[in-house]
Amino acid sequence: MRYFLHIGYDGSNYKGWQKQKNTQNTVQEVIEKKVSQIFKKEMTIYGCGRTDSGVHASQYIMQINVDQAPDFDLKYRLNKNLPDNIAVFEIREVDDNHNCRYHAIARTYDYFVHWNKDPVLMRYSAFYEGIQLDYDLMNKATDLIRNTRDFRPVCKRPDVYDNTLCNVSECRIFVNEQEGRLRFTITSNRFLRGMVRLCVFFLLKVGTGALSLSDFEKILTQEIQSEEKQPAFPNGLFLSKVQYPFITFQDSHQLIKMLKLGLEE
Protein backbone atom coordinates (compact mmCIF):
# COMPACT_ATOMS: atom_id res chain seq x y z
CA MET A 1 0.00 0.00 0.00
CA ARG A 2 1.19 3.51 -0.75
CA TYR A 3 0.39 6.70 1.13
CA PHE A 4 1.06 10.32 0.25
CA LEU A 5 1.71 12.51 3.29
CA HIS A 6 1.15 16.25 3.13
CA ILE A 7 3.64 17.77 5.55
CA GLY A 8 5.02 21.20 6.40
CA TYR A 9 8.30 22.15 7.98
CA ASP A 10 10.35 25.05 9.24
CA GLY A 11 13.65 24.49 7.43
CA SER A 12 15.66 27.00 9.47
CA ASN A 13 17.72 24.40 11.33
CA TYR A 14 17.80 21.70 8.64
CA LYS A 15 20.32 21.05 5.90
CA GLY A 16 17.58 20.79 3.32
CA TRP A 17 15.16 17.95 2.59
CA GLN A 18 17.34 15.26 1.10
CA LYS A 19 19.31 12.77 3.16
CA GLN A 20 22.99 12.80 2.15
CA LYS A 21 26.01 10.69 3.05
CA ASN A 22 28.13 13.51 4.45
CA THR A 23 25.32 15.71 5.80
CA GLN A 24 23.38 15.23 9.01
CA ASN A 25 20.09 16.76 10.16
CA THR A 26 18.02 16.77 6.99
CA VAL A 27 14.22 16.69 7.04
CA GLN A 28 14.13 13.34 5.24
CA GLU A 29 16.55 11.79 7.71
CA VAL A 30 14.55 12.94 10.75
CA ILE A 31 11.20 11.71 9.39
CA GLU A 32 12.66 8.42 8.17
CA LYS A 33 13.98 7.62 11.64
CA LYS A 34 10.61 8.33 13.25
CA VAL A 35 8.68 6.32 10.64
CA SER A 36 11.04 3.38 11.14
CA GLN A 37 10.55 3.54 14.91
CA ILE A 38 6.77 3.65 14.57
CA PHE A 39 6.62 0.65 12.20
CA LYS A 40 9.44 -1.14 14.07
CA LYS A 41 11.40 -1.83 10.90
CA GLU A 42 13.70 0.01 8.51
CA MET A 43 11.61 2.28 6.31
CA THR A 44 12.50 4.48 3.35
CA ILE A 45 10.52 7.61 2.54
CA TYR A 46 10.50 9.48 -0.75
CA GLY A 47 9.88 13.18 -1.34
CA CYS A 48 8.39 15.28 -4.11
CA GLY A 49 11.68 17.13 -4.62
CA ARG A 50 14.57 18.90 -2.96
CA THR A 51 14.56 21.99 -0.81
CA ASP A 52 17.85 23.66 0.09
CA SER A 53 19.29 24.26 3.53
CA GLY A 54 17.19 26.82 5.42
CA VAL A 55 14.23 26.66 3.01
CA HIS A 56 10.72 25.99 4.33
CA ALA A 57 7.71 24.07 3.05
CA SER A 58 4.02 24.61 3.75
CA GLN A 59 2.90 21.86 1.35
CA TYR A 60 5.49 19.17 0.83
CA ILE A 61 4.38 15.72 -0.33
CA MET A 62 6.23 12.55 0.65
CA GLN A 63 5.31 8.91 0.20
CA ILE A 64 5.69 5.71 2.19
CA ASN A 65 5.00 2.10 1.28
CA VAL A 66 3.54 -0.34 3.83
CA ASP A 67 2.51 -3.98 3.64
CA GLN A 68 -0.92 -3.32 5.14
CA ALA A 69 -2.96 -0.44 6.51
CA PRO A 70 -1.76 0.57 9.99
CA ASP A 71 -4.11 -0.35 12.84
CA PHE A 72 -3.37 2.95 14.59
CA ASP A 73 -3.77 6.66 13.82
CA LEU A 74 -0.60 7.25 11.81
CA LYS A 75 -1.05 11.03 11.55
CA TYR A 76 -1.45 11.34 15.33
CA ARG A 77 1.50 9.03 16.00
CA LEU A 78 3.80 10.91 13.63
CA ASN A 79 2.88 14.35 14.96
CA LYS A 80 3.40 13.12 18.52
CA ASN A 81 6.91 11.86 17.72
CA LEU A 82 8.19 14.37 15.17
CA PRO A 83 9.89 17.58 16.37
CA ASP A 84 7.80 20.75 16.60
CA ASN A 85 9.25 22.14 13.36
CA ILE A 86 7.75 19.31 11.26
CA ALA A 87 3.98 18.68 11.02
CA VAL A 88 1.83 16.14 9.19
CA PHE A 89 -1.39 17.69 7.84
CA GLU A 90 -2.92 14.89 5.75
CA ILE A 91 -2.33 11.23 4.91
CA ARG A 92 -3.99 9.93 1.76
CA GLU A 93 -3.90 6.45 0.26
CA VAL A 94 -2.97 6.39 -3.45
CA ASP A 95 -2.44 3.74 -6.09
CA ASP A 96 0.81 1.81 -5.85
CA ASN A 97 2.00 3.25 -9.17
CA HIS A 98 1.51 6.88 -8.11
CA ASN A 99 4.76 8.71 -7.44
CA CYS A 100 4.89 11.92 -5.41
CA ARG A 101 7.84 13.28 -7.38
CA TYR A 102 7.33 12.20 -10.96
CA HIS A 103 3.55 12.58 -11.12
CA ALA A 104 3.47 16.16 -9.83
CA ILE A 105 2.27 18.40 -12.65
CA ALA A 106 3.06 21.74 -11.00
CA ARG A 107 4.76 23.21 -7.95
CA THR A 108 4.43 26.69 -6.49
CA TYR A 109 7.05 28.57 -4.51
CA ASP A 110 6.49 31.76 -2.54
CA TYR A 111 9.34 34.06 -1.56
CA PHE A 112 8.86 36.76 1.08
CA VAL A 113 10.93 39.95 1.43
CA HIS A 114 10.71 42.72 4.01
CA TRP A 115 12.77 45.90 4.38
CA ASN A 116 11.61 47.26 7.74
CA LYS A 117 13.17 45.29 10.58
CA ASP A 118 10.60 43.08 12.29
CA PRO A 119 11.58 40.30 14.72
CA VAL A 120 8.44 38.31 13.89
CA LEU A 121 9.39 38.10 10.20
CA MET A 122 13.13 37.49 10.44
CA ARG A 123 12.90 33.69 10.39
CA TYR A 124 10.46 33.40 7.47
CA SER A 125 11.09 36.44 5.30
CA ALA A 126 14.32 37.74 3.77
CA PHE A 127 15.39 41.04 5.32
CA TYR A 128 16.88 43.59 2.90
CA GLU A 129 17.19 46.66 5.09
CA GLY A 130 15.92 49.91 3.58
CA ILE A 131 15.85 48.55 0.03
CA GLN A 132 14.23 50.92 -2.50
CA LEU A 133 12.39 49.09 -5.29
CA ASP A 134 10.77 50.06 -8.59
CA TYR A 135 7.73 47.78 -8.61
CA ASP A 136 6.80 48.60 -12.21
CA LEU A 137 10.20 47.39 -13.42
CA MET A 138 9.91 44.28 -11.24
CA ASN A 139 6.50 43.48 -12.72
CA LYS A 140 7.99 43.72 -16.19
CA ALA A 141 10.82 41.47 -15.07
CA THR A 142 8.34 38.84 -13.87
CA ASP A 143 6.76 38.94 -17.35
CA LEU A 144 10.18 38.13 -18.80
CA ILE A 145 10.54 35.17 -16.43
CA ARG A 146 7.06 33.90 -17.27
CA ASN A 147 7.83 34.02 -20.99
CA THR A 148 11.18 32.23 -20.63
CA ARG A 149 11.51 28.55 -21.54
CA ASP A 150 15.17 27.75 -20.93
CA PHE A 151 16.18 28.57 -17.35
CA ARG A 152 19.85 27.70 -17.59
CA PRO A 153 20.91 31.28 -16.62
CA VAL A 154 19.07 30.96 -13.29
CA CYS A 155 20.17 27.41 -12.44
CA LYS A 156 22.86 26.72 -9.87
CA ARG A 157 23.87 23.37 -11.40
CA PRO A 158 22.74 23.18 -15.05
CA ASP A 159 25.26 20.40 -15.70
CA VAL A 160 23.21 17.87 -13.67
CA TYR A 161 20.17 18.13 -15.99
CA ASP A 162 19.46 16.61 -19.40
CA ASN A 163 17.71 19.90 -20.21
CA THR A 164 16.92 23.14 -18.39
CA LEU A 165 13.47 23.79 -19.90
CA CYS A 166 10.60 24.75 -17.60
CA ASN A 167 6.98 25.74 -18.27
CA VAL A 168 6.22 28.64 -15.93
CA SER A 169 2.47 29.23 -15.70
CA GLU A 170 2.44 31.98 -13.07
CA CYS A 171 5.03 34.53 -12.00
CA ARG A 172 3.97 37.64 -10.04
CA ILE A 173 4.87 39.98 -7.24
CA PHE A 174 2.56 41.39 -4.57
CA VAL A 175 3.63 44.46 -2.61
CA ASN A 176 2.48 46.02 0.66
CA GLU A 177 4.31 49.34 0.83
CA GLN A 178 2.71 50.31 4.13
CA GLU A 179 4.15 47.24 5.84
CA GLY A 180 7.33 47.22 3.76
CA ARG A 181 6.80 43.69 2.47
CA LEU A 182 6.81 41.85 -0.85
CA ARG A 183 5.83 38.37 -2.04
CA PHE A 184 7.15 36.75 -5.20
CA THR A 185 5.19 33.70 -6.36
CA ILE A 186 6.06 31.35 -9.20
CA THR A 187 4.42 28.16 -10.50
CA SER A 188 6.04 25.76 -12.95
CA ASN A 189 5.92 22.14 -14.04
CA ARG A 190 9.47 21.76 -12.67
CA PHE A 191 12.19 23.77 -10.95
CA LEU A 192 15.95 23.63 -11.28
CA ARG A 193 18.42 23.87 -8.42
CA GLY A 194 18.59 27.40 -7.06
CA MET A 195 16.15 28.64 -9.70
CA VAL A 196 13.70 30.53 -7.48
CA ARG A 197 16.32 32.20 -5.31
CA LEU A 198 18.31 33.26 -8.38
CA CYS A 199 15.16 34.67 -9.96
CA VAL A 200 14.61 36.71 -6.78
CA PHE A 201 18.23 37.87 -6.86
CA PHE A 202 17.79 39.25 -10.37
CA LEU A 203 14.35 40.74 -9.60
CA LEU A 204 15.85 42.68 -6.70
CA LYS A 205 18.74 43.81 -8.91
CA VAL A 206 16.24 45.11 -11.48
CA GLY A 207 14.06 46.65 -8.79
CA THR A 208 16.95 48.60 -7.27
CA GLY A 209 18.23 49.75 -10.67
CA ALA A 210 21.48 47.79 -10.33
CA LEU A 211 20.51 45.81 -13.44
CA SER A 212 18.60 47.18 -16.40
CA LEU A 213 15.49 45.40 -17.66
CA SER A 214 17.07 44.99 -21.10
CA ASP A 215 20.19 43.39 -19.61
CA PHE A 216 18.06 41.03 -17.55
CA GLU A 217 16.26 40.00 -20.73
CA LYS A 218 19.62 39.39 -22.40
CA ILE A 219 20.72 37.26 -19.44
CA LEU A 220 17.56 35.15 -19.70
CA THR A 221 17.99 34.73 -23.47
CA GLN A 222 21.68 33.88 -22.89
CA GLU A 223 22.93 36.76 -25.05
CA ILE A 224 25.10 37.89 -22.14
CA GLN A 225 26.24 36.32 -18.87
CA SER A 226 25.78 37.93 -15.49
CA GLU A 227 29.02 38.89 -13.76
CA GLU A 228 27.28 38.38 -10.41
CA LYS A 229 24.95 35.49 -9.57
CA GLN A 230 24.18 35.09 -5.87
CA PRO A 231 21.00 33.27 -4.73
CA ALA A 232 18.71 35.29 -2.48
CA PHE A 233 18.62 34.34 1.20
CA PRO A 234 17.07 30.88 1.82
CA ASN A 235 14.84 31.82 4.76
CA GLY A 236 12.35 33.75 2.60
CA LEU A 237 11.49 30.73 0.45
CA PHE A 238 8.56 28.33 0.89
CA LEU A 239 7.46 25.39 -1.23
CA SER A 240 3.77 26.19 -0.90
CA LYS A 241 1.82 23.95 -3.30
CA VAL A 242 2.25 20.66 -5.15
CA GLN A 243 -0.38 19.66 -7.72
CA TYR A 244 -1.32 16.23 -9.04
CA PRO A 245 -3.90 15.19 -11.67
CA PHE A 246 -5.43 12.54 -9.37
CA ILE A 247 -5.50 14.11 -5.89
CA THR A 248 -5.87 17.54 -4.26
CA PHE A 249 -4.42 18.52 -0.91
CA GLN A 250 -5.76 21.12 1.51
CA ASP A 251 -4.14 24.52 1.92
CA SER A 252 -3.84 24.02 5.65
CA HIS A 253 -0.58 25.63 6.77
CA GLN A 254 -1.39 28.60 9.00
CA LEU A 255 2.05 30.22 8.87
CA ILE A 256 2.09 30.88 5.15
CA LYS A 257 -1.52 32.06 5.30
CA MET A 258 -0.44 34.69 7.82
CA LEU A 259 2.60 35.66 5.73
CA LYS A 260 0.36 36.16 2.68
CA LEU A 261 -1.97 38.56 4.49
CA GLY A 262 -1.74 41.92 2.73
CA LEU A 263 0.19 40.33 -0.13
CA GLU A 264 -2.70 38.96 -2.19
CA GLU A 265 -5.14 40.31 -4.73
Catalytic residues: 52
Dist. CA 143–CA 222, nearest whole Å: 17
Q: Phi and psi (nearest 5°) for 70? A: -65, 145
Dist. CA 86–CA 62, nearest whole Å: 13
Based on the number of CB atoms within 10 Å of its own CB, is 220 exposed (0-12), middle (13-18) or buried (19 or more)?
Answer: buried
Write the CB contacts of 4 (distance below 8 Å, at least 6 apart in sequence): 61, 62, 63, 91, 92, 94, 98, 100, 247
CB 26 within 8 A of CB 9: no
Q: Phi and psi (nearest 5°) for 106? A: -160, 150
Q: Distance of CA 177 to CAs 77, 114, 130, 131, 225, Å?
A: 43, 10, 12, 12, 32
Q: Torsion over CA of 117, 118, 124 and 127, rounded to 10 degrees?
A: 0
Write the CB contacts of 185 (distance below 8 Å, at least 6 apart in sequence): 108, 109, 110, 111, 170, 171, 172, 173, 174, 240
